[in-house]
Structure 1
Amino acid sequence: MPLPTTLVWLPETVSTDEEAFLLAAHFLGESLDGLSLSRDPLGKPYPARQGHSIPCLHISNTHDGGQRLLLAAKHENLVGVGLDMVYLPRMRSPYKNRAYLHRLAARFMAHVEFERFQRAAQQDDEEALRRRVAAHFSLMEAASKALGTGLKIGAFMGHSASLPLSALGALQIEPWVQLFFDDLAKTRLVTLKAQRWEAYWGSDDTYLISAVFLFGNEQSKQALQLDYP
């Protein structure tokens, strides 16, 4: 069964998350009658109709560089989606050189992820390295949103149940994405009854965007990796 999705660049006239969600739901062909946006105890937004959640319809939004983006996806086996966006020009300051980028990667990656990252980045020029670091960070953010936990990123940001930065990430970003989940993140996967995932990223000169989809059965394309060599 195909996965209906809509990715919406939100105009400045869209001022609230609920207004953005209703716009995306309209593009999916969803009836807007009684449709609203609610949030669970961790702050994750979810669609509701007449006050009841809609299990097959999921949304995620992101903003950076003055732009807002919303993803809505609908599938009977979907249990979570996450979207993230990175404004690449912010990473092109003169002092953000190779050494800085490696230090940044080491701060948010688990040891196993950082080892894989270093090997893959050996032939990167500085611009390719920037995109690689951005892709790893963005996929980590998108995965945390799909799990519904968010991340503990310091400065009192995040919830008590949010995952630490090193709890999840990407062991590989090309030619396909292989996500990483530590024991804490795996516990959340079990709670969601997630059995499969798909993860994607892409960029132009200005924005890098990533998305993670979690499924509850075997209909997605890629098996969930729970053990890492």
Structure 2
Amino acid sequence: MTVPVRRLVPYVTAYEGEALAYQLIVDPHVEATDGIRLSYADPVGTDWLYGVLWYRQGITQTGRPLWKLVNTPRQRRCMMHMLCQVCGRPAADNDGWIWWLMPEPPGTTGGGLPFTHVPPCCRACIPAARALCPRLRHEAHVYTALAAEPFGVVADLYRPAAGRKVVLVQHAVEVPLDAFRRLDFALATQLLVSLDGLQKAEDGPAS
């Protein structure tokens, strides 16, 4: 009898059972650029980080994996603590180099630094990541970096409407952390980081 092998689910993958109900509204706030900002109808302090409201999502890893979607809290955790997007463990090797596997080269900040929304991928998990992801099978870029710093967010942008309601204006927009007016009405879904000492890993396991 052949026992089926369970497909590896990357750490950052979202699951069906992690969806949470929420209501977005306009709320007065003294630190907002125009005195108002995007909020939840039942806000708590942990809803905001880096001056922006974050998409609410569970971390239970229950239900069906949503292969094309990223779990917001786990993506952010990987970016803040340099954890592998596949296994969830530290992505740096013994020499301190942090490994990345990207489907396309990183973007560039206004100051000329490379940046990305893609979490690190430890060297050991690079072959599995390439095998799992159709985009990476088509094209993959392996890098190492010395360090990473929060640079911005991928976010949905809203504007105030009648009463305290809001209307979606743009979906999945890259917003720097110093764009305060835009951040006031942004719902962040992924953290962007700038990369220090980035270089191609020509001798990496996926090159």
TM-score (norm 2): 0.27
Larger Rg: 2
Q: Larger % of strand: which? A: 2
TM-score (norm 1): 0.25
Structure number with the higher helix fraction is 1
